[in-house]
Amino acid sequence: MSAISLTGQVALVTGAGHGIGRASALALAEAGAFVAAADRNAEGADQTRKLIESAGHAGAAVTVDVTDPDALDAAVADIAAAHGRVDILHANAGVLMAGTALTQSLDEWDLTYGVNVRGTFLTVRAALPQMIRQGGGAVIITASISGMIGEPSLVAYNSSKGALINLTRQLAIEYASHGIRVNCICPGWIETGFNDPVLGHLPPDELDQLIKQQVPLGRQGTAEDVAPSVVFLASDWARYVTGQSLVIDGGLTAM
Protein backbone atom coordinates (compact mmCIF):
# COMPACT_ATOMS: atom_id res chain seq x y z
CA MET A 1 0.00 0.00 0.00
CA SER A 2 1.09 3.54 -0.63
CA ALA A 3 2.02 5.88 2.18
CA ILE A 4 -0.71 7.99 3.76
CA SER A 5 -1.04 11.33 2.00
CA LEU A 6 -2.90 14.35 3.34
CA THR A 7 -1.66 16.63 0.57
CA GLY A 8 -4.02 19.54 -0.01
CA GLN A 9 -5.80 19.12 3.31
CA VAL A 10 -6.00 21.65 6.13
CA ALA A 11 -5.69 20.62 9.77
CA LEU A 12 -6.28 22.38 13.07
CA VAL A 13 -4.64 20.92 16.19
CA THR A 14 -5.38 22.29 19.66
CA GLY A 15 -2.97 21.86 22.52
CA ALA A 16 -0.29 21.83 19.84
CA GLY A 17 2.33 23.69 21.84
CA HIS A 18 3.81 20.55 23.37
CA GLY A 19 3.47 16.80 23.81
CA ILE A 20 0.96 14.80 21.79
CA GLY A 21 -0.46 17.90 20.14
CA ARG A 22 2.93 19.00 18.86
CA ALA A 23 3.83 15.51 17.67
CA SER A 24 0.53 15.09 15.83
CA ALA A 25 0.85 18.53 14.25
CA LEU A 26 4.30 17.59 12.94
CA ALA A 27 3.09 14.19 11.72
CA LEU A 28 0.07 15.68 9.93
CA ALA A 29 2.36 18.21 8.25
CA GLU A 30 4.79 15.44 7.28
CA ALA A 31 1.88 13.66 5.58
CA GLY A 32 1.22 16.79 3.52
CA ALA A 33 -1.43 18.75 5.40
CA PHE A 34 -1.25 22.46 6.12
CA VAL A 35 -1.36 22.56 9.92
CA ALA A 36 -2.61 25.35 12.14
CA ALA A 37 -0.97 24.67 15.50
CA ALA A 38 -3.19 26.15 18.21
CA ASP A 39 -2.41 26.58 21.89
CA ARG A 40 -3.22 29.08 24.62
CA ASN A 41 0.57 29.39 25.03
CA ALA A 42 1.56 31.58 22.09
CA GLU A 43 5.25 30.72 22.42
CA GLY A 44 4.54 27.00 22.35
CA ALA A 45 2.29 27.29 19.31
CA ASP A 46 4.88 29.34 17.47
CA GLN A 47 7.65 26.88 18.31
CA THR A 48 5.55 24.11 16.77
CA ARG A 49 5.04 26.26 13.68
CA LYS A 50 8.80 26.76 13.43
CA LEU A 51 9.40 23.02 13.71
CA ILE A 52 6.86 22.37 10.95
CA GLU A 53 8.43 24.94 8.67
CA SER A 54 12.00 23.90 9.44
CA ALA A 55 11.04 20.41 8.23
CA GLY A 56 9.97 21.94 4.92
CA HIS A 57 6.23 21.92 5.49
CA ALA A 58 3.52 24.58 5.75
CA GLY A 59 1.99 25.67 9.02
CA ALA A 60 0.74 28.51 11.14
CA ALA A 61 0.56 29.33 14.84
CA VAL A 62 -2.76 30.21 16.45
CA THR A 63 -3.13 31.49 19.99
CA VAL A 64 -6.46 30.30 21.37
CA ASP A 65 -7.94 29.13 24.66
CA VAL A 66 -10.39 26.26 24.12
CA THR A 67 -12.61 27.55 26.91
CA ASP A 68 -13.34 30.68 24.81
CA PRO A 69 -16.03 29.90 22.20
CA ASP A 70 -15.68 33.23 20.39
CA ALA A 71 -11.93 32.77 20.02
CA LEU A 72 -12.44 29.25 18.65
CA ASP A 73 -15.06 30.42 16.16
CA ALA A 74 -12.73 33.19 15.02
CA ALA A 75 -9.78 30.81 14.66
CA VAL A 76 -11.74 28.40 12.47
CA ALA A 77 -13.16 31.29 10.42
CA ASP A 78 -9.66 32.68 9.84
CA ILE A 79 -8.29 29.30 8.74
CA ALA A 80 -11.24 28.71 6.40
CA ALA A 81 -10.93 32.21 4.95
CA ALA A 82 -7.22 31.73 4.27
CA HIS A 83 -7.33 28.14 2.99
CA GLY A 84 -10.90 27.51 1.92
CA ARG A 85 -11.55 24.56 4.21
CA VAL A 86 -10.84 22.70 7.45
CA ASP A 87 -10.49 18.99 6.71
CA ILE A 88 -8.98 17.70 9.96
CA LEU A 89 -9.50 18.67 13.56
CA HIS A 90 -7.43 17.16 16.35
CA ALA A 91 -9.12 18.35 19.56
CA ASN A 92 -6.25 17.60 21.89
CA ALA A 93 -6.12 20.30 24.60
CA GLY A 94 -6.54 18.94 28.12
CA VAL A 95 -5.54 19.19 31.75
CA LEU A 96 -4.87 16.69 34.56
CA MET A 97 -5.14 17.42 38.27
CA ALA A 98 -4.95 14.69 40.88
CA GLY A 99 -7.65 14.33 43.52
CA THR A 100 -10.23 12.05 45.09
CA ALA A 101 -13.94 12.67 45.63
CA LEU A 102 -12.98 14.08 49.05
CA THR A 103 -9.85 16.03 48.12
CA GLN A 104 -10.48 17.39 44.62
CA SER A 105 -11.50 21.01 44.97
CA LEU A 106 -14.56 22.24 43.11
CA ASP A 107 -12.35 24.73 41.26
CA GLU A 108 -10.16 21.84 40.05
CA TRP A 109 -13.22 19.82 39.07
CA ASP A 110 -14.69 22.76 37.15
CA LEU A 111 -11.39 23.51 35.41
CA THR A 112 -10.95 19.87 34.40
CA TYR A 113 -14.42 19.70 32.90
CA GLY A 114 -14.13 23.21 31.50
CA VAL A 115 -11.06 22.29 29.45
CA ASN A 116 -11.40 18.56 28.83
CA VAL A 117 -15.12 18.30 28.14
CA ARG A 118 -16.53 21.77 27.50
CA GLY A 119 -13.36 22.86 25.70
CA THR A 120 -13.42 19.82 23.43
CA PHE A 121 -17.12 20.31 22.75
CA LEU A 122 -16.58 23.98 21.90
CA THR A 123 -13.64 23.13 19.63
CA VAL A 124 -15.61 20.56 17.67
CA ARG A 125 -18.67 22.81 17.53
CA ALA A 126 -16.57 25.60 16.04
CA ALA A 127 -15.34 23.36 13.21
CA LEU A 128 -18.56 21.50 12.40
CA PRO A 129 -20.30 24.20 10.32
CA GLN A 130 -17.28 24.50 8.00
CA MET A 131 -16.99 20.73 7.66
CA ILE A 132 -20.70 20.48 6.88
CA ARG A 133 -20.43 23.22 4.23
CA GLN A 134 -17.52 21.50 2.51
CA GLY A 135 -19.13 18.06 2.65
CA GLY A 136 -17.00 16.24 5.20
CA GLY A 137 -14.06 16.11 7.53
CA ALA A 138 -12.27 14.07 10.16
CA VAL A 139 -12.34 14.85 13.87
CA ILE A 140 -9.92 13.17 16.29
CA ILE A 141 -10.47 13.76 20.00
CA THR A 142 -7.79 13.01 22.57
CA ALA A 143 -9.43 10.93 25.28
CA SER A 144 -7.42 8.47 27.40
CA ILE A 145 -7.41 4.96 28.78
CA SER A 146 -8.28 6.84 31.97
CA GLY A 147 -11.75 7.18 30.49
CA MET A 148 -12.05 3.39 30.31
CA ILE A 149 -10.77 2.34 33.74
CA GLY A 150 -10.83 3.61 37.29
CA GLU A 151 -7.61 4.94 38.80
CA PRO A 152 -6.85 6.21 42.30
CA SER A 153 -6.80 9.98 42.84
CA LEU A 154 -8.07 10.89 39.37
CA VAL A 155 -11.77 11.46 39.99
CA ALA A 156 -12.13 14.51 37.74
CA TYR A 157 -9.74 13.35 35.03
CA ASN A 158 -11.11 9.80 34.79
CA SER A 159 -14.69 10.95 34.55
CA SER A 160 -13.94 13.75 32.08
CA LYS A 161 -12.12 11.42 29.72
CA GLY A 162 -14.97 8.92 29.96
CA ALA A 163 -17.27 11.73 28.87
CA LEU A 164 -15.08 12.35 25.81
CA ILE A 165 -15.32 8.71 24.73
CA ASN A 166 -19.10 8.90 24.67
CA LEU A 167 -19.03 12.39 23.15
CA THR A 168 -17.06 10.80 20.31
CA ARG A 169 -19.77 8.20 19.76
CA GLN A 170 -22.57 10.75 19.84
CA LEU A 171 -20.89 13.12 17.40
CA ALA A 172 -20.05 10.25 15.06
CA ILE A 173 -23.70 9.20 14.89
CA GLU A 174 -25.01 12.75 14.57
CA TYR A 175 -22.76 13.90 11.73
CA ALA A 176 -22.05 10.75 9.72
CA SER A 177 -24.65 11.81 7.15
CA HIS A 178 -22.55 14.94 6.50
CA GLY A 179 -19.45 12.86 5.70
CA ILE A 180 -17.82 13.76 9.02
CA ARG A 181 -15.98 10.99 10.86
CA VAL A 182 -15.35 11.36 14.59
CA ASN A 183 -12.97 9.11 16.49
CA CYS A 184 -10.90 9.39 19.63
CA ILE A 185 -7.48 8.19 20.67
CA CYS A 186 -6.93 6.74 24.14
CA PRO A 187 -3.26 6.99 25.07
CA GLY A 188 -1.87 5.24 28.11
CA TRP A 189 1.22 6.39 29.98
CA ILE A 190 2.91 8.81 27.61
CA GLU A 191 6.18 10.46 28.63
CA THR A 192 5.38 14.11 28.02
CA GLY A 193 5.24 15.52 31.54
CA PHE A 194 1.44 15.55 31.40
CA ASN A 195 1.24 12.74 33.99
CA ASP A 196 3.61 14.44 36.43
CA PRO A 197 0.77 15.37 38.84
CA VAL A 198 0.30 11.63 39.38
CA LEU A 199 3.69 10.07 38.64
CA GLY A 200 6.12 12.96 39.14
CA HIS A 201 6.71 12.23 42.83
CA LEU A 202 8.15 8.78 42.12
CA PRO A 203 11.94 8.32 41.96
CA PRO A 204 13.05 7.24 38.47
CA ASP A 205 13.88 3.69 39.51
CA GLU A 206 10.48 3.20 41.19
CA LEU A 207 8.68 4.66 38.19
CA ASP A 208 10.62 2.36 35.86
CA GLN A 209 9.73 -0.67 37.98
CA LEU A 210 6.04 0.32 38.07
CA ILE A 211 5.94 0.76 34.31
CA LYS A 212 7.56 -2.62 33.71
CA GLN A 213 5.02 -4.24 36.03
CA GLN A 214 1.97 -2.65 34.40
CA VAL A 215 2.87 -2.08 30.75
CA PRO A 216 3.51 -5.27 28.75
CA LEU A 217 5.79 -3.45 26.29
CA GLY A 218 7.87 -2.38 29.28
CA ARG A 219 8.08 1.36 28.76
CA GLN A 220 6.13 4.56 28.70
CA GLY A 221 5.02 5.66 25.27
CA THR A 222 6.17 8.82 23.56
CA ALA A 223 4.17 11.48 21.79
CA GLU A 224 5.70 10.17 18.57
CA ASP A 225 4.19 6.75 19.33
CA VAL A 226 0.74 8.36 19.36
CA ALA A 227 0.96 10.73 16.39
CA PRO A 228 0.78 8.10 13.59
CA SER A 229 -2.63 7.01 14.88
CA VAL A 230 -3.87 10.58 14.53
CA VAL A 231 -2.63 10.66 10.94
CA PHE A 232 -4.31 7.32 10.23
CA LEU A 233 -7.66 8.43 11.64
CA ALA A 234 -7.44 11.68 9.69
CA SER A 235 -6.78 9.90 6.41
CA ASP A 236 -8.78 7.99 3.82
CA TRP A 237 -7.19 4.81 5.17
CA ALA A 238 -9.75 5.21 7.99
CA ARG A 239 -12.61 6.20 5.68
CA TYR A 240 -14.90 3.50 7.15
CA VAL A 241 -13.90 4.14 10.77
CA THR A 242 -16.06 6.38 12.94
CA GLY A 243 -17.26 6.45 16.52
CA GLN A 244 -14.27 4.42 17.69
CA SER A 245 -11.79 4.68 20.55
CA LEU A 246 -8.27 3.69 19.50
CA VAL A 247 -6.22 2.53 22.49
CA ILE A 248 -2.49 3.32 22.38
CA ASP A 249 -1.14 2.04 25.68
CA GLY A 250 1.58 -0.59 25.19
CA GLY A 251 -0.87 -3.27 26.26
CA LEU A 252 -1.66 -1.81 29.68
CA THR A 253 -5.44 -2.26 29.46
CA ALA A 254 -4.99 -5.80 28.11
CA MET A 255 -3.57 -6.92 31.45
Rounded to whole angstroms, the Cα distance separating 238 from 148 reads 23
Contacts with 242 (C-beta within 8 Å, 6 or more apart), sequence order: 172, 176, 181, 182, 183
- Does the CA dihedral 137-51-222-93 come out positive or negative? negative
CA distances 220 to 16, 153, 248, Å, are 20, 20, 11
What is the number of alpha carbons within 13 Å of residue 40 lying toward its C-beta?
Answer: 11
Yes or no: say if 58 and 34 are a contact pair by the CB < 8 Å rule: yes
Closest CA to 135 of 176, 81, 83, 173: 176
Yes or no: say if 115 and 162 are a contact pair by the CB < 8 Å rule: no
Active site residue 157: yes
113, 157, 175, 240: the catalytic one is: 157
Give me the phi and psi of 34, to 5 degrees please.
-80, 130
Yes or no: say if 93 and 164 are a contact pair by the CB < 8 Å rule: no
Residues recognised as catalytic: 157
